[in-house]
Homo-oligomer: A and B are copies of this chain.
């Protein structure tokens, strides 16, 4: 990690009100230095490449913390695992279950029209759109 990345990640954490630790900076580097879609185990594997003294529990704890602070979103697209998305702008997803690939679709291209009125006492949280595709079988 370059010094500037280190500093950038630490700043993101502080701005979010998260006390800075080595493991959190490292998890931030993996998740937040570019847009990605990663499962908790994928994050663990990447973090352990640079900081082997990182436990699975810390990764789960930290990802939950990041989610609460809105640094990442949880995507529920596959029953096997939760995917964490570091793109927090409004957007949708194209998912290929066979390959496990997940691609962002900007909210500029794709829109949802005709959202129903919500029953009173409810407020909109978010709208997920998942375009599920598969390999064309000839």
Q: Which A residues form the contact surface with B (CB < 8 A)?
A: 74, 76-79, 82, 94, 96, 105, 109-116, 118, 121-136
Contacts and interface: CB of A to CB of B under 8 A. Distances in A.
B112 A123 contact: no
23 contacts: A76-B76, A94-B118, A96-B122, A109-B114, A110-B113, A111-B112, A111-B113, A112-B129, A121-B135, A122-B133, A122-B136, A124-B131, A124-B132, A124-B133, A125-B132, A125-B133, A126-B132, A127-B131, A127-B132, A128-B128, A128-B130, A129-B129, A130-B130
A126 B132 CA distance: 5
A114 B110 contact: yes
A114 B132 CA distance: 15
A95 to B, nearest CB: 9
Contacts of A124: 131-133
A129 B132 contact: no
A93 to B, nearest CB: 10
Given A110-B115, A125-B132, A132-B126, A77 B76 contact: yes
Contacts of A133: 118, 122-125
